[in-house]
Amino acid sequence: MPLFREKLTGEERMQLVEMLTKVASAHSAPSELQREALARLKRRLIAGKPELATSRAGHFG
C-alpha cells in the first residue's frame, strides 16, 4: 500500500479502485467478499497512513 500511496496521485488511486471494481463486475455482480476487499482497499489507499499499526510484539503506534 505505501508504494501506491507514494507513487499515485489521489485521482490515480481512485482510478485504480474503479478499474478493479470493473474487473470484479466483469461477468457478474461482485461477491460480498469482493465488495469488502474493494472497500478496504479504497480506505487504505485514501488514508495517509494506517489507522492502527501494531508490531509483532503487540505494541501500538
Tens of pLDDT along 1-47? 888 988 999 999 999 999 999 999 999 999 999 999 999 999 999 87
At 58, is the pLDDT very low, low, confident or very high (cuts 50, 70, 90)? low
DSSP alpha helix (H) spans, the chain: 2-7, 10-24, 32-46
- Please state, in angstroms and rounded to a whole number, the distance separating the CA atoms of residues 42 and 19: 12
pLDDT at res. 11: 94
**Would you say residue 52 has pLDDT above 60?**
no
Higher pLDDT residue, 61 or 6?
A: 6
The 3-state DSSP class for residue 60 equals strand
- Please state, in angstroms and rounded to a whole number, the distance separating the CA atoms of residues 45 and 6: 10
Residues 6 or more apart whose Cβ sits within 8 Å of residue 30: 21, 24, 38
- The two most distant CA atoms of the chain are separated, in Å, by 43
